[in-house]
Chains A and B, each alone.
Chain A
Amino acid sequence: MNMNDYKDVYVFAEQRNGVIQNVAYELLGKATDLAKELGHQVVAVLLGYGIKDQAQSLVEMGADEVIVIDRPELKDYLTEQYKQAMYQLIMARKPQIVLYGATTIGRDLAPRLACKLHSGLVADCTKLTIELDKEGKKEFYSTRPAFGGNLMATIVCPTSRPQMSTVRPGVMQKLQRDVNRKGIISEFEPVFDEKEFKVRLISTEMNDQKVADISTAKYLVSGGRGVHDAEGFKKLQALADEIGGMVSSSRAMVDAGVMDHAYQVGQTGKTVRPQLYMACGISGAIQHLAGMEESGYIVAINKDKYAPIFSVADLGIVGDLHKIIPMLTERIRREKEQNQ
């Protein structure tokens, strides 16, 4: 393998039902930083069917080039179909770096490709950098949490190409959309081996659309074991409504069946970084902290003054949320009325 043949930073631009996912734009933001350090281009790869008209959106969000693979076989994500198309593209274009969202699609596809390419893949990264190695060469470093978030590990793939990483959604920053930005849009035609298509999609049942996406919330009022039950969450919901925020949950309340998994913050739930995160009755297991510690301002209310959540809180209150939250909601309501 001649490593110098491999060039540019590629982003797998994940789409679902023809809609480009946020994580694709986040990856373009990070890819722009990496490409600048390396003096490379940012290339987005968009796979799907009837999606050509969306390529410009990727240019506006940072891609210098968009390669579209528009085929009926790629309408819905299926491992083998996407693997064949991406593999042929990677062999033809030889990217140095390929980034995927660490979603149920990215984490299904990337390891298949890594194995077929015999190249290194780093999972669920939260930090990507270009640094000089001991010989003064620019090297790509992927950093990720391990041991349930107890430890961070920085991984390198020095001798294989491409270097690939899946990146946790909600961590990297998108660029501002620039509608005047220009880029190349091209198409790639894979040759499919249909004999290998062994998995067939029968049906798709969308989750309840009313379930709010907590990763988009400006303010989150989040509840843990100390909230006790659905009645307790009503108190949090009242406060969230009053400040224009949403309610989220720790794993404990999801496992207890009180809250749906879609609202879970943490290592096995969502990563959030709202301007305000109010942790109510959440002790703060490291797996939970991994999902929220980047929040702008963290308020914690807990009866146990030794709760680990206080180690990441900007403001910690040792007290009873069942009294404090309704009183705070009322206090804010009163203030609003006075100002009207």
Chain B
Amino acid sequence: MNIIVCVKQVPDTTEIKIDPVKGTLIRDGVPAIMNPDDKGGLELALRLKEQHGATVTVVSMGPPQADVMLREALAMGADRAILISDRKFAGADTLATSYTLAGCIKTLDYDLIIAGRQAIDGDTAQVAPEMAEHLGLPQVTYVVDADITPEGLIVKKENEDCVQTLAVDGKCVLTVLASAFKPRYMTVAGIIDAYNREVEVWSAEKIDVDENLLGLKGSPTKVFRSFPKALKAPGEVHELSDEEAVELIFNRLKEKHII
């Protein structure tokens, strides 16, 4: 069985702060990490590999710096790593990104594709379903469990109000939640090994795409403007004795007709 896992390198958004004077994002010193849901996807792939035997290939679209994240994937247990990297991909929205990934995956042998639910920088959750559409494959999103049984692939999908069990016939795309697949650590031997192996770097020529549909040119959405969220005027903050604090809250709730 061949499993492809799509991964993205992202800034750790929990570490991003806003410059209180300029109102801009402070991105200096923010670590770049493997997107958490994608790491959950890799973990699922590695579990399926252990249980059923599989070759796990990680694919990422991004700048050359993503090499370090792909080596982390190799150190966790992936067998092959491909970085699709080209200036022609710059400015891609979700549709152009999904088209690019699909163009790479089309050239590979696969039985199952796994991706994270969403990336913590963009939070769109659109790339994997759009990629599935480009590839003409079925999908199950928000996956919290998956297993290969004699009847085929059985997955659990977590919705707001229920958990569904679904059976998939043939190849498909799954998107998974990080919370359901706690990732393993890299081993020391794995890390050493990962730096002796090759991360393949593929340009636009190597994948099956129409170059007019890449990057900014292939993106129907455009960012019109971006801005830091308007901060609310700060309210009152008090350091009081417990008794005074209770009276103050009590009086405010009364003024607001809450009690």
The answer to whether the Cβ of B229 comes within 8 Å of any Cβ in the partner chain is yes
Residues on A with C-beta less than 8 A from B25 are 147, 150-151
A75 within 8 A of B: no
Chain B residues, CB < 8 A from A204: 162-165
- The answer to whether B133 has its CB under 8 Å from any CB of chain A is yes
User: A202–B16 contact, CB under 8 A?
Assistant: no
Cα–Cα distance between A315 and B249 once the two chains are bound (Å)? 8
Q: With an 8 A cutoff between CB atoms, is A123 at the interface?
A: yes
Interface residues of B (CB under 8 A from A): 11, 13-14, 16, 18, 25, 93-95, 98, 120-127, 129-130, 132-134, 138-142, 154, 157-170, 172, 179, 219-229, 231-232, 234-240, 242-243, 245-250, 252-253, 256, 258-259
Specify which chain A residues have a CB less than 8 angstroms from the CB of B130 in the assembled complex.
111-112, 114-115
Interface residue? A145 (CB, 8 A): yes
A-B residue pairs in contact (CB < 8 Å), sample of 13: A104-B159, A115-B130, A145-B123, A147-B11, A149-B229, A196-B138, A199-B139, A200-B168, A205-B164, A255-B179, A299-B249, A319-B240, A327-B246
Alpha-carbon distance between A220 and B236 when the two chains are bound, in angstroms: 20
Indicate if the CB atoms of A315 and B227 lie closer than 8 Å: no
CA of A39 to CA of B16, assembled, Å: 42
Given contacts A123-B124, A199-B140, A200-B169, A317 and B94 within 8 Å (CB-CB): no
* Contacting residues, chain B, for A111 (C-beta < 8 A): 94, 125-127, 129-130, 133
**Cβ-defined contact, A317 with B121, below 8 A:** no
A251–B158 Cα gap in the complex (Å)?
17
Q: Are B139 and A79 within 8 A (Cβ)?
A: yes
Given contacts A200-B166, A315-B249, A332-B259, 14 further A-B contacts (CB under 8 A): A120-B219, A121-B94, A121-B126, A148-B13, A148-B123, A199-B140, A199-B172, A204-B163, A275-B258, A311-B231, A316-B238, A317-B248, A319-B240, A328-B249
How many residues on chain A are close to B (CB under 8 Å)?
84
Give the CA-CA distance A121 to B133 in the complex, in Å: 14
Of all chain A residues, which has the CB nearest B243?
A327
Complex partner residue of A124 from B124, B221, B245, B249, CB under 8 angstroms = B124
Please determine whether B126 and A114 come into contact, CB atoms closer than 8 angstroms.
yes
Could you tell me if A319 and B236 are in contact, using CB atoms closer than 8 angstroms? no
Instruction: Give the shortest distance, in Å, between A108 (CB) and chain B (any CB).
Output: 5
Please give me the residue from chain B that is nearest to A108 by CB atom.
Answer: B141
Q: Known contacts being A112-B132, A146-B123, is A276 close to B258, with CB within 8 Å?
A: yes
Asked if residues B160 and A328 are in contact (CB atoms below 8 Å), the reply is: no
User: Which single member of A141, A156, A285, A296 contacts B14 (CB below 8 Å)?
Assistant: A285
Looking at chain A's contact residues, the main secondary structure is mixed
Q: Chain B residues near A206 (CB, 8 Å)? A: 161-162
Count of inter-chain pairs, beta carbons less than 8 A: 248
Q: Are B228 and A150 in contact (CB under 8 A)?
A: yes
Q: Are A319 and B245 neighbours in the complex by a CB distance under 8 Å?
A: yes
Chain A, 171-208, CB within 8 A of any chain B CB = 196, 198-207
Residues of A within 8 A of B (CB): 16, 79-80, 103-105, 107-108, 110-112, 114-116, 118-124, 141, 145-160, 196, 198-207, 219, 243, 255, 261, 267, 275-276, 285-287, 293, 296-299, 301, 305, 310-320, 323-324, 327-328, 331-332, 335
- Closest-by-CB residue of B relative to A102 is B125
Q: How far is the CB of B47 from chain A (nearest CB, A)?
A: 21
In contact, A103 and B141 (Cβ under 8 angstroms):
no
Partner of B220, one of A104, A118, A299, A327: A118
Distance from B253 Cβ to chain A, minimum over Cβ atoms (Å):
7
Contact A316 B226, CB 8 Å, known A123-B123, A199-B168: no
Minimum distance in angstroms from B225 CB to a CB of chain A: 5
Q: Which residue of B lies closest to A113 (CB)?
A: B133
Indicate whether A297 sits within 8 Å of B258 (C-beta atoms), given known contacts A145-B229, A148-B123.
yes
CB distance from A195 to the nearest CB of B (A): 11
Instruction: Please provide the 7 A-B residue pairs with the shortest distance between their CB atoms, ordered closest to farther.
Output: A148-B13, A316-B237, A120-B220, A115-B133, A123-B124, A111-B129, A120-B221
Q: Is the CB of B167 within 8 A of A152?
A: no
C-alpha gap A110/B139 in the complex (Å): 13
**Is there contact, CB below 8 Å, between B18 and A150?**
yes
Using Cβ atoms and an 8 Å threshold, which residues of chain A touch B159? Answer: 103-105
Cross-chain contact A324 with B16 (CB below 8 angstroms): no
- Least CB distance, B136 to chain A, in whole angstroms: 9
Whether B225 contacts A122 by the Cβ 8 Å rule is no
Q: Is the CB of B95 within 8 A of A115?
A: yes
